[in-house]
Structure 1
Amino acid sequence: MGVIKELAYRLFVAAGVTSAAAWLNRRKAVILAYHDVYTSGPDPVANYDGLRLRLALFERQMRYMATHYEVVPLDEIRDLPAGSRHRRSLAAITFDDGYANFYRHAYPILRRFGLPATVFVVTDFLVHGRPFWWDRLRAMIAATQRPSVRIDVDGIQQFPLATAQDKQTTLTDLSPRLLTLPPSRREALLAGLAVDLDVDDQTPAICGSLSADELREMARDGISVGSHGRSHDSFLHLSRDALLAELTESKRVLESVVGGPVTWLCYPHGEFSADAVEAAIRAGYRSAVTVIEGLHDPAADPYAVRRIGVNDHMTFAQFVVAASGLREMLKDLLRVRRQRRGEMRGQPTARIRGLG
């Protein structure tokens, strides 16, 4: 983020513009999307996209939410009447994937501030402890001493690895490509990559999963549990039968763990389709969250719920601006301004002069 933009955001916060924006948006709700928190580590290369958040930053954000918002369970947001207004802006907190650090670090902070939250769990990760492929990839790239590597994804290509910046660039380029591969081919590629990079195919301890006992304990104490699929494979690359199996099985496993209904779904990688929505409905889910940025409108599709993604690269001012809905409002204003400029450019020259 540019210095001028950051200064403007800080001014918005100090001048109360964000508070005004939150009040104007009080018919909507902000749903925050987190992945993980940490106290030390991870390697900056492995955390190139900032999905693991510093614990001190998370604590500051939760203190702010507890002070300025009414933080409620996701179910309460789902059941909001369309167009209803509230004295305080509503918010919900979500965590994707089910990392163990949620229990170790985030949960104690949430308890301290009395904040409910929802954790979306991948059941293969929970039951078998299988590391996610992207954590394996990040760990290998971060650990290698090789200056480069040749990888055949959609054609053989040389990827630079000499510097930390090279590694981050390679991860940014390579991760989306691996996402689209069939799981069997992706697994073979990762196994070969460990050999080529001369590293162990092992993920660090911070990438471990929550346990069933931890989930049960938290479910009794204000933490709700939702499904993030069985395997975390993209729903865009599964057949209808496979989709239904993913959603039904993950729901069954989680309900057996927490002893109650699981009605919220989080689409793996944020990717979904009409088939995925149909499968979710058939499997018994009542709502689903996405990674589409924005505030949640209670009148919107309950299977395409918007959230605000939070990462370690966000400044506190950015966080406050995003949560208030001001960021969306500014983008909308810029969009309208560009459209008007485009319309003016398409008008006859004489008319444009007349407007001036």
Structure 2
Amino acid sequence: MYGESMLRKLAQRTVPQAAILLYHRVADTARDPQLLCVSPENFAGHMEVLRSRYLPSPLSARESWQPGSVVVTFDDGYADNLINAVPLLRRYLIPATIFVTTGFVGDAKRPYWDELADLFLWSAVLPKRLQLPLNGQTKAWEFGLEGPVDPSWNLLDGTSCARQDAYLVLCDHLRLSATAERVETMALLREWAGRGCANSGERRFLTEQELRRLAEEEDIEIGAHTQNHANLALLSAAEQRSEIVEGRQRLQDICGQPVRCFAYPYGTRLSYARLTQRILQKEGFDCACSNFGGVVFPVVSRYQLPRFLVRDWSADEFASRLAEYLQ
């Protein structure tokens, strides 16, 4: 027979401690092929649900989480996190952690998924043919006189033209490429197109000044997300450490405060390794967030915290999904 104290301990280990939410952008846009955006109206509804039904908690307060705790996080460092999300977080008194890829700060570099979208999906004219070596084989597309893709198209809609197919194939390829190969492939594409891939302005990243303002917000914590949004599992130990440590150092230099939490780019179990977790622990990070579903139980490793990816749902749908998640 189990004693009362043993039953209590078993219950504590099997009751969800918290749910961590993963957002990327808060913006109204007609173009969202990666489904990264939640509209300000829907985001406000989400925050109202959290404030009225749950216990909004900081990521750094793990020791005080209890059943019903919900943590808000953002990945990448888009400018609309400051412009659109922060005022709503303030209104509903919701703390949040924003994981920033330092190579994107100030648009010094652009993520390949945004650059590919501007090139393949929205540009008015493309050369008629593209041929690229991918994974030891040659991949070719014929674009002919195809015009820009319907702005409402997204990656769940399937493909009906060469532009869409090229975009999805190259996104998948670059997601599984080491940083050097990714840089080389993007350079080949710019050369092929005969121009740089102009930024549409819809997907701007934080400037250094904006990042400092974000760090000054009382309930906002800044977290690290590597220098180059690297797929860490593809890198050597030295390369992983460089991406992690140098990315954090730049954040600390800009924000003037310690950075203690981390989020794995892509965040699937194939996007990092045990070695990555050991590096984070050795370098003094308190925790690391993934991008696979699940709630946080007391037995979950603090270097593999699961997150609940949020889409552009209405408040009612968000509430229903979160209730199901935390039941």
Asked whether the two chains share a fold, i.e. TM above 0.5, the reply is yes
Q: Where do 5+ consecutive residues of structure 1 fail to align? A: 1-24, 330-356
In the alignment, what sits opposite 2:240? 243
1:31/1:178 CA distance change after superposition, 3 Å: same
Shift of 1:96: 0.3
In the alignment, what sits opposite 1:176? 172
In the alignment, what sits opposite 1:79? 63
Is 1:232 matched with 2:260?
no
1:75/1:152 CA distance change after superposition, 3 Å: same
Instruction: Identify which range, 132-141 or 186-195, moves more after superposition.
Output: 186-195
User: Which structure features the higher share of helix residues?
Assistant: 1
In the alignment, what sits opposite 1:59? 44
Tell me the alpha carbon deviations over residues 124-175 of structure 1, each in whole angstroms, 9 at most, x when there is no partner.
2226621112211111112234476433323222347645443444433321
In the alignment, what sits opposite 1:191? 187
CA contact (8 A) 1:29 1:295 kept: yes
In the alignment, what sits opposite 1:131? 110
Shift of 1:186: 2.5
Shift of 1:183: 2.9
Matched position secondary structure for 1:207: coil
CA contact (8 A) 1:99 1:208 kept: yes
* Partner Cα separation in structure 1 for residue 180 and residue 222 of structure 2: 29
1:194/1:255 CA distance change after superposition, 3 Å: closer
Match for 1:141: what amino acid?
F
TM-score, normalised with respect to structure 1: 0.75
CA contact (8 A) 1:294 1:328 kept: no
Match for 2:34: what amino acid?
D
In the alignment, what sits opposite 2:290? 290
In the alignment, what sits opposite 2:25? 36
TM-score, normalised with respect to structure 2: 0.81
CA contact (8 A) 1:101 1:206 kept: no
Q: Where do 5+ consecutive residues of structure 2 fail to align? A: 1-13, 151-158
Is 1:208 matched with 2:204?
yes
The 5 Å alignment of 1:1-356 reads: 27-41=16-30, 43=31, 47-76=32-61, 78-80=62-64, 85-86=66-67, 89-126=68-105, 129-144=108-123, 145-146=125-126, 149-154=130-135, 155-159=137-141, 162=146, 164=150, 165=159, 166=161, 167-197=163-193, 200-220=196-216, 221-270=218-267, 271-312=271-312, 314=313, 316-324=315-323, 326-327=324-325
1:52/1:152 CA distance change after superposition, 3 Å: farther
> Which of structures 1 and 2 has the bigger CA Rg?
1
CA contact (8 A) 2:177 2:231 kept: no
In the alignment, what sits opposite 2:155? none
Q: CA RMSD in A?
A: 2.5
Aligned residues: 293
1:160/1:294 CA distance change after superposition, 3 Å: farther
* Partner Cα separation in structure 1 for residue 182 and residue 210 of structure 2: 31
CA contact (8 A) 1:93 1:118 kept: yes
* Partner Cα separation in structure 2 for residue 124 and residue 160 of structure 1: 33
Shift of 1:54: 1.9
1:195/1:215 CA distance change after superposition, 3 Å: closer
What percentage of aligned pairs have identical amino acids?
24
* Partner Cα separation in structure 2 for residue 213 and residue 36 of structure 1: 19
